[in-house]
Structure 1
Amino acid sequence: MLGQRLDAEETDHALNALSHASRRRLLFKLYEELDSGEGERINYTEIPSFGAEKKRILLYHTHLPKLEKFGYIKWNEVEKTIQKGPQWEEIEPLLELIYSHLCELPLFLQGKPPDTNGTKC
């Protein structure tokens, strides 16, 4: 994505994918796993924020299908896992950029509350 000229539709897909907190959590969790070398897929049911039934319903009917449609993930509904999809390379540089500067962003953009010391990261 960076250093390449994207068309408007690709840009819209990337920003749309990151526009909802649930999709950001999924993409960042997958990015963390891939970056750390711990694995190539994640079990999304183990992400605490998706424990409530209403959030799981939205996950299954909205967020996972959208990310799969854009090609950013491959979704295995039976195993309840996701892994990078054929278009992962389009979103990865944007994830890397945001992730590497997360501590510089306001708290509401970090997607997490301040720690007990009141610091951002």
Structure 2
Amino acid sequence: MLSLLIVGIGIALTGSESRSTEAGAQGPVDVFVRIPEAIWPVARGEKYEDPIDAALRGAGLGEVTGGGSQLGPSAPDGTPTIEWVGIDVELSELERGLPLLKRELRRIGAPAETAIESRRGGTQVSEGL
């Protein structure tokens, strides 16, 4: 069923990957950005992934590692719809990278309801812009 598919969203919060997802731990921290916008993959890359990646890499604070779309119910004509998009980000330093990520998301026009998810102290944390 297409409405249940998440395309390319990766393993940002599964806890099973080899690098750390815990804030305060040594090494990179994976975060997932959930953007409530119906935008197709190429446009998502141009609007969000490319500028965020450039900003994080430029500051030496991380990179975009993937992205995807949550498909919604098909339109009456049968074409797929998108409910929201997601971006996987690896931050080398959560304390410095997270504020930069939030500033960049606001600068490029992410909706106010955008959520940034990470794991801190073994707990999943979701915060806004």
Normalised by the length of structure 1, the TM-score is 0.31
With a CA cutoff of 8 Å and minimum separation of 6, indicate the structure with the bigger relative contact order.
Answer: 2
Bigger fraction of residues in strand = 2
TM normalised by structure 2 equals 0.29
